[in-house]
Amino acid sequence: MFPKPKNQDYSTPNTASNELEQRRSILHDGIEIKGDWYSDGIVEFGGDIVGDLTVDVLIVNASARVEGNVRARSVTIEGHVIGTIAALDVNISPTAVFRGEIAAESIQIDYGADVVGHLKTTSKATPEVPLDL
C-alpha cells in the first residue's frame, strides 16, 4: 500500500549499545511505599518507604526517608535511612541522617553527616602476600 522509502535501513537495532544504558527510576518526594522495591537499574528515591530496597544503584535524595534493608552495588545517602545497608560503595552526604549498620568495601562519610550505627568495611579479594618479602 505504501512504498518503502529508498535507503531506509529496517534491520534490528544494535542491542549491544542498548545494554550499556541502565534503566533509571525516579521516585519523587510525596511517594509513599509500604513494601519492597526491586530494580536492576538506577533508582533515585525522594519519597518515603518502609520496606527493603534491592537495586543496582540507589540515590536517597535529601527529601527521602527509608526504613528497611538496602542491598545495592552503590548507595548515596542524602536523606534519612534507618536500617542495614549491604553494598560495594556507600557515600553518606553532609545532609544525610543514618541509623543502623553498613557493610561495604568502601564507605565515605562527608563532614556534617549524622551517623549512628555500626560500620564494617569488607576487603576486596586480594592475592596472598608472603610475609618474608
Q: Residues 101, 117: contact at Cβ < 8 Å?
A: yes
pLDDT band at 117 (very low <50, low <70, confident <90, very high): very high
- Please tell me the distance from the alpha carbon of residue 77 to that of residue 45, in angstroms, as a whole number: 10
pLDDT tens column, 62-99: 999 999 999 999 999 999 999 999 999 999 999 999 99
C-alpha separations of 34 from 51, 52, 78 in Å: 6, 9, 21
Per-residue pLDDT tens digits for 12-46: 444 444 444 678 888 888 889 999 989 999 999 99
| 46 three-state secondary structure | coil
Q: Which residues contact 6 (CB under 8 A, 6 or more apart)?
A: none
Residue 116 φ then ψ, to 5°: -135, 120
Q: What Rg, from alpha-carbon coordinates, does the chain have? A: 21
Q: Give the DSSP letter string of 64-108.
A: -EEES-EE-SEEEESSEEEEEEEEEEEEE-TT-EEEEEEEEEEEE
Residues forming beta bridges with residue 43, ordered by sequence position: 25, 58
**Of 14-18, 85-89, 119-123, 128-132, which range is least confident?**
14-18
Tell me what pLDDT residue 7 has: 53
- What's the pLDDT at 26? 85
